[in-house]
Amino acid sequence: MTLKTDEIWATGRRKSAVARVRLRTGTGKITVNGKDLKAYFTTEAIIGFIRQPLTVTDTEKGVDIEANLTGGGLVGQAGALRHGIARTLVKKDESLKSVLKDCGMLSRDARVKERKKPGQPGARKRFQFSKR
């Protein structure tokens, strides 16, 4: 038996970070891993970056967001959370898709750190060449 709820789930990814986002109607409260958004992300720039999908679509006060973040660093997790919020908003209201897509919030940023190659000190760096 499944229960009918007004919750919408989506997943956002960035680098090696994964955000599982749950959106429901509410008062605009955002919790991340059981903490308030401002307690988890301390920088105002990162908080503004996360709230972008809500400000662009004018849905800041109408929804509550719960997120589970794993992997990566703070900036990667912020990008994953932003991606997840945008995807939940599209699931809630399909008319917001064009606005979010024009702002580039629906595309997954696939840039990840390049792996180190064998026989080299880094991904691109080479050992110094010696002719003699």
- Count the domains in the chain: 1
Let me know: does 19 contact 53? Beta carbons within 8 Å: no
* pLDDT band with cut points at 50, 70 and 90 for residue 4: low
In a domain, 127, yes or no: no
CA distances from 118 to 115, 123, 125, 132 (A): 10, 9, 11, 23
In a domain, 43, yes or no: yes
In a domain, 120, yes or no: no
Domain carrying residue 36: 8-102
> Which pLDDT value is given to residue 6?
83
CATH number, domain of 80, equals 3.30.230.10
Side-chain-facing half-sphere of 11: CA atoms under 13 Å: 5
pLDDT at 1 over 60: no
pLDDT digit string, tens, across residues 85-116 = 999 999 999 999 999 999 999 999 889 999 99
pLDDT digit string, tens, across residues 9-51 = 999 999 999 999 999 998 989 999 999 999 999 999 999 999 9
In a domain, 55, yes or no: yes
> Which pLDDT value is given to residue 62?
87
Q: Give one word for 25, left, alpha or beta, with left for phi > 0 and alpha for psi -120 to 50.
A: beta
In a domain, 118, yes or no: no
